[in-house]
C-alpha cells in the first residue's frame, strides 16, 4: 500500500480517487482536515476497504511512525500543505509549521522506517514530495519557462515555505540516501477545488451574482494544468522517476488571469445564462493587487515527457469546460464548503480591497 498525506484536499482527493480507479493497491490517507480538507471529496469511497482515512498531522512523528510500522507502505506521497498564497500573506505561521516543520517530521519518520527495511524493500521505497512552480519565483514576459535547474527565488511566505521543504527533501536524499522524488507543478484546476482559488471562486461568485475580483490589471500569467493530468504525472513519477530527481509538471497552457475569467464567464453564459440575459463578465471588478504578486509562471515540462513519457491529456478548452460543468452539477458541494469560516475568509481578504 501507499501512504498519501493531504488526501482530503483538492489535489489529494483527486489523487486518491484517481489512484484507486487505476489500481487496487490500498491507500492510507493521512489528513489533518484543516479548512481545506473535506471528507465529502472522498464520499464515493465510503465502505471501500482499499481506503483507510486517518485524521492527523504530518508533524506528529509518533503517529506517522505508528502508521508506517503498522501498514508498511512502499511509498509516501506528500501532498499535505497549507496552499493558499493570500492566506500566507495574512498569516504565515501555519505555513511554516506544516510546510517546513511538518515535512521535516514526516521525513524523519520516513527515514527511521526506511532505514530498518530489508534490502529489497529499502531499494523499492519512495518518498514523493509534491511541490510547486512558485518556488522558482516570477518570470519576465520573454524569459524561458522554469526548468528543473532554475534557481529557487520564492517571493511569498507560501512559496518560501515550499522551497524550504524542497530543500529538506533534497538533503535527505543527499545525506541519508532516502529515495526521494520531487514534482514541481503549475496551477491546477478541476473538481473539488476550494473556492478561495481563482477559477472556483469566479464560478461560484458568478453564479451567486457577486463581483468577480480581479487583482491588479489581471495580466498576471499562470500555466494551467487539469488536476487529473497532475494525478497521472504523480503516478508516472512514482512508478519510473529516478530517486533524487525533480520533475516539473505543467500543462503548456500559459494564460493571463483576465483571459481565464473571460473564459469562465463565456462558458457560464452558454451553460447557465443569467436570468436577466446579461453577460457574466459584467460582474468583473478590478480590486487592489496581491502584495508581492508574481507576474508570470511557466513550466518547461520537457524532462518528464522525454524521460518518463508523460504529457497532459487535456487542453485548457476541454479541461475548463469539464470544470465549469462539474461545479454546475455539484451545487450541494459548493454550498457545504461555504461555511462560516469560509465567509470570514472572504470578508477578510476582499473586504479591504476596494474596487
Ligand atoms: P489544499 O489546500 O486543497 O489541501 C491541502 C490538504 O492538506 C487539506 O486536505 C488539509 O487538510 C491537509 N493538511 C494541511 N495541513 C496538514 C497537516 N499538517 N497534516 C496533514 N494534513 C494537512 O491543497 P492542494 O491545492 O490540494 O495542494 C496539494 C499540494 O500540492 C500542496 O503541497 C501544494 O503546495 C501543491 N501544489 C498545489 C497546486 C495547486 O494549483 N493547487 C499546484 C502545485 C503544487
Ligand atoms: O503555481 C502553483 C500554485 O498555484 C500552487 O502552488 C498554489 O498552491 C495554488 O494556490 C496556486 O497559487 P496562485 O496564487 O497562482 O493561485 P490563485 O488561484 O490564488 O491565484 C491565481 C491567480 O489569480 C493569481 O495571479 C492571483 C489571481 N487572483 C486570485 C484570486 C483568489 C485574482 O485575480 N483574484 C482572486 O480573487
Average confidence (pLDDT) over 111-127: 98
pLDDT of 355 reads 62
Pocket of ligand 2 contains residue 29 by CB under 6 Å: no
Contact, 248 vs 304, CB < 8 A?
Answer: yes
pLDDT of 353 reads 84
Pocket of ligand 2 contains residue 222 by CB under 6 Å: yes
Q: How big is the chain, counted in residues? A: 355
Pocket of ligand 2 contains residue 215 by CB under 6 Å: yes
For residue 140, CA distances in Å to 25, 198, 220, 221 come to: 43, 21, 10, 10
pLDDT of 340 reads 86
315 pLDDT tier (thresholds 50, 70, 90): very high
Atom of ligand 2 nearest to the CA of 196: 31
Atom of ligand 1 nearest to the CA of 97: 18
pLDDT of 68 reads 98
CA 301 to chain centre: 17
3-state helix, strand, coil in the chain (%, to 5): 50, 15, 35
Return the best residue to mutate from 4, 7, 8, 9 for the ligand 1 pocket (most ligand atoms within 8 A of CB): 9
The grid coordinates listed for 216 are 491588479
> pTM here?
0.98
What percent of the chain lies above the pLDDT cut of 90? Answer: 98
Positive or negative, the CA dihedral 189, 252, 20, 162 is negative
The set of protein residues with a Cβ atom below 6 angstroms from ligand 1 is 5-6, 8-12, 30-34, 36-37, 57-59, 79-83, 98, 102, 130, 132, 162, 185, 187-188, 194
Atom of ligand 2 nearest to the CA of 222: 15
3-class secondary-structure state, position 226 = strand
Closest C-alpha to ligand 2, atom 7: 83
pLDDT of 46 reads 96
Closest CA to 191 of 312, 339, 322: 322
pLDDT in tens, 138-155: 999 999 999 999 999 999
pLDDT in tens, 12-60: 999 999 999 999 999 999 999 999 999 999 999 999 999 999 999 999 9
What's the Rg (C-alpha) of the chain?
20
Q: What is the mean pLDDT of the chain?
A: 97
Highest CATH level, class, for 2-188+226-251+293-313: alpha beta
pLDDT in tens, 187-225: 999 999 999 999 999 999 999 999 999 999 999 999 999
Amino acid at each position: 500500500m501507499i501512504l498519501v498525506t493531504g488526501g482530503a484536499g483538492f489535489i489529494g482527493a483527486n489523487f486518491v480517487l484517481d489512484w484507486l480507479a487505476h489500481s487496487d493497491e490500498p491507500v492510507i490517507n493521512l489528513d489533518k482536515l484543516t479548512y481545506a480538507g473535506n471528507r465529502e471529496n472522498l464520499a464515493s469511497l465510503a465502505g471501500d476497504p482499499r481506503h483507510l482515512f486517518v485524521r492527523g498531522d504530518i508533524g506528529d512523528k509518533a503517529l506517522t511512525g505508528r502508521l508506517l510500522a503498522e501498514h508498511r507502505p512502499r511509498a509516501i506521497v506528500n501532498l499535505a500543505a497549507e496552499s493558499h498564497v493570500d492566506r500566507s500573506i495574512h498569516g504565515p505561521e501555519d505555513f511554516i509549521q506544516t510546510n517546513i516543520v511538518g515535512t521535516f517530521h514526516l521525513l524523519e519518520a520516513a527515514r527511521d522506517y526506511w532505514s530498518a527495511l530489508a534490502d529489497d524493500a529499502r531499494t523499492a521505497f519512495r518518498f514523493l514530495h509534491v511541490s510547486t512552480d512558485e518556488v522558482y519565483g516570477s518570470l519576465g514576459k520573454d524569459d524561458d519557462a522554469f526548468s528543473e535547474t532554475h534557481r529557487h527565488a520564492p517571493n511569498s511566505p507560501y512559496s518560501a515555505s515550499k522551497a524550504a521543504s524542497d530543500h529538506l527533501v533534497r538533503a535527505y536524499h543527499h545525506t541519508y540516501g532516502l529515495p526521494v522524488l520531487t514534482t514541481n507543478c503549475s496551477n491546477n484546476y478541476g473538481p473539488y477545488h476550494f473556492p478561495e482559488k481563482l477559477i472556483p471562486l469566479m464560478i461560484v461568485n458568478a453564479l451567486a451574482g457577486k463581483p468577480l475580483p480581479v487583482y491588479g490589471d489581471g495580466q498576471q500569467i499562470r500555466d494551467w494544468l487539469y488536476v487529473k493530468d497532475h494525478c497521472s504525472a504523480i503516478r508516472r513519477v512514482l512508478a519510473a522517476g529516478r530517486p533524487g530527481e525533480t520533475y516539473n509538471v505543467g500543462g503548456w497552457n500559459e494564460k493571463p488571469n483576465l483571459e481565464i475569467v473571460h473564459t469562465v464567464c463565456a462558458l457560464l453564459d452558454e451553460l447557465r445564462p443569467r436570468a436577466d440575459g446579461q453577460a457574466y463578465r459584467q460582474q468583473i471588478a478590478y480590486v487592489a493587487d496581491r502584495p508581492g504578486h508574481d507576474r508570470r509562471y511557466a513550466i518547461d515540462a520537457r524532462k518528464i515527457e522525454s524521460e518518463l513519457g508523460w504529457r497532459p491529456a487535456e487542453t485548457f478548452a476541454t479541461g475548463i469546460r469539464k470544470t465549469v460543468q462539474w461545479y454546475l452539477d455539484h451545487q450541494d458541494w459548493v454550498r457545504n464548503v461555504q461555511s462560516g469560516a469560509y465567509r470570514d475568509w472572504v470578508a477578510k481578504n476582499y473586504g479591504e480591497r476596494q474596487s
